[in-house]
Copies of this chain bind each other. A is one copy, B any other.
Amino acid sequence: ALSLAVQSAAMDSATLDKAAQLRDQALTSDQAYKLLESLTTEVGPRLAGSDKELEAIEWAKTKFREMGFDKVWTEPVKVKQWQRLSESAAVIAPFTQPLQISTLGHSVSTPPGGATGEIAHFATLEALEKASPGEVKDKIVFISNRMHRHKTGSGYGPAVRARGEGASIAGAMGAKALLIRSIGTDSHRLPHTGVLRYDEDKPKIAAAALSNPDADLLERMLERGNPVSLTVNIQTRDKGEVEVANVIGEIQGRTKPDEVVLLGAHLDSWDLGTGAVDDGAGVALTMAAANLIQDSLKQRPYRTIRVVLFAAEEVGLVGAKAYAAAHQDDMDKHIIGAESDFGAGPVWALSAKVGAQALPVIDSMAQLMGALGVVRSDSIASGGPDVGQMVKLGMPAVDLMQDGTDYFDLHHTADDTLDKVDPKALQQNLAAWTVFAYLAAQWPGSFR
């Protein structure tokens, strides 16, 4: 931690005091929870490209306006209208049992009567890649790799390749369908969906995730040494492209309105739950943080605070890529950004990707967040999936790193609902976000 002398070189003490006041006010604010309650109750699931995403966009515009944001607008984004119609699976030999599956986003359908075949079992995607086509042809591939639990979510990256790439790899080898163990850390009969990516030059096969207990069951059956056969019926629909939108609300800067502090989250969710932790919490937090600053101060901060609710994050960062493309010419006016898209667990660390001259400001932020249990991390901030698209274009960023120990219990399942959010943790998040947004908007220097 820096000495107070160094800090005051970076930030004047009146600003720091004000930030501390905002932080403490956030700890008693129910605004983020109320926004989240409204979004999950009145809109609910908001699949990218669905009518429900359009409904969420209207919800967000209305809320921004009701809260008195200075500017509210949308920026159009095109996305595929993919829909889950039905899904079922069952073991048919040597035993008979139904299986709980969720189709992966953008999956094609099986034939109308389903796909039936023996399991070709692989412990990992890497093992599948090394298999000979003869082991896979006309079979139903099952990848049983289990995601590991970690505060930082570090188990996700290694496991999720099976979801993203598995279908094309198995399809190229002649498989009839792909089943993966859910990319998730819980042990409930609620499979984890998520998008897959097809190679356009490879055969497309239907793909779904099994809940962890169902994947355990298949493994136990396979351990007995005899072939295990399944039937899988997945029906989906692709209705072509539709226009959705990023929704943007701004608190305009008093002296530097063209300089933007960007707070990001994504408004779309998967269709199974109500998107409370992914990413309703981020939507609610970022909206409430900007609004708290606006409502609590006599004057606007120097810089503009812009909340961007990205469209269609779940199916390939579609809204964020569109925003980055639309704003590449004014990216230099994007002073710094951050994203909340890792659930509703408490913030425990602050990391940054900023120029050396701005480090004392980041340290000041961390010191003010210390009362919230936040430590200064020396890892390099990524900006998160959406805001990271702007970081690629040179925008500085911080990560308000959340405790994600339980995040992947809920992630992309039907269980992602409001009851999973601790209102106290949401207040702690709001407090940290308020400190970040206010100091970034008020400090006159460059973060680049």
Contact = CB atoms under 8 A, between A and B. Distances in A.
Interface of A: 37, 40-45, 52, 95-98, 100, 187-190, 212-213, 216-217, 220-221, 273-274, 413-415, 417-420
Q: Which 3 residue pairs spanning A and B have beta carbons closest together? A: A44-B97, A189-B414, A213-B417
Contacts of A44: 95-98, 217
Nearest to A273: B189
Contacts of A420: 187
A98 B417 contact: no
A236 to B, nearest CB: 17
A352 B411 CA distance: 47
Kindly name the residue among A187, A212, A417 whose own CB sees the greatest number of chain B CB atoms within 10 A.
A417
A187 B419 contact: yes
A414 B100 contact: yes
A419 B212 contact: yes
B45 A98 contact: yes
Contact of A419 (B37, B216, B413): B216
Contacts of A417: 189, 213, 216-217
B42 A95 contact: yes
B415 A41 contact: no
A415 B216 CA distance: 13
Contacts of A190: 188-190
A221 B41 contact: yes
Given A97-B45, A190-B189, A274 B414 contact: no
A190 B188 CA distance: 9
A419 B95 contact: no
Given A189-B273, A217-B418, 17 more contacts: A40-B217, A41-B95, A41-B217, A43-B95, A44-B98, A45-B97, A97-B274, A100-B414, A188-B190, A188-B415, A190-B190, A212-B419, A213-B415, A213-B417, A213-B419, A216-B418, A216-B419
21 contacts: A37-B220, A40-B217, A41-B220, A42-B95, A43-B95, A44-B97, A44-B217, A52-B96, A187-B419, A187-B420, A188-B188, A189-B413, A189-B415, A189-B417, A190-B190, A213-B417, A213-B418, A213-B419, A216-B418, A217-B417, A220-B418
Contacts of A274: 97, 217
